[in-house]
Amino acid sequence: MSESERELPKPTPETQHFWDGTRQGELRLQRCKKTGEVYFPPRHFCPSSGSTDIEIIKASGRGTLHSYIISHLPAPGFTPPYAIAIVKLEEGPKMMCNIVECEQTPEALVLDMPLEVSFEKVNDEITLPQFKPAGH
């Protein structure tokens, strides 16, 4: 995938900790100190309680395949077929990503299959979290 073709995220003050973590090979999430809820995507307040008393935690990087589609349409930076997936993280939240290092077929992409995070360095600022079958 070419950096020049693919639309890349633009870090904001609320998401900078997340992108700093991916560059260091860590998946960082936020946890509400009031409720203990871990949430994603990053924001400056807990979506359940509204509290701004939050902390950043290092996630395990493990999850399961919750849902996906296989796109056969070309898109900038992607070669079809490719999976667009929702992974349920071990800590609770769900995250949209791509599944890598496996065939992009319904036979290979089994719901609830164990996954682990993999990091794709795109440039010096952005490293994208992807998921692959656990143990690959």
Q: What is the pLDDT of residues 88-99, one digit of tens each?
A: 999 999 999 999
Q: Which domain holds residue 31?
A: 16-133
Report the candidate in 63, 42, 60, 61 with the shortest Cα–Cα distance to residue 52. 42
Look at residue 130 and give its three-state secondary structure. Answer: strand
Tell me if 66 is assigned to some domain: yes
In this structure, is residue 69 part of a structural domain?
yes
Query: What is the pLDDT, as a whole number, of residue 135?
Result: 86
User: pTM for the full model?
Assistant: 0.90
Rounded Cα gap, residues 110 and 46, in angstroms: 32
71 lies in some domain: yes
Q: What dihedral do alpha carbons 64, 68, 72, 77 form, nearest 10°?
A: -60
In a domain, 6, yes or no: no
Question: Is residue 10 in some structural domain?
Answer: no
Domain contains 7: no
DSSP class of 35:
T
The CB density around residue 105, as the number of other CB atoms within 10 Å, is 10
What is the model's pLDDT at position 136?
A: 75
Domain count, the chain: 1
Spans in the chain with pLDDT lower than 70: 1-4
Contact call for residues 120 and 107 (beta carbons, < 8 A): no
Please report the pLDDT score of residue 5 as a whole number: 81
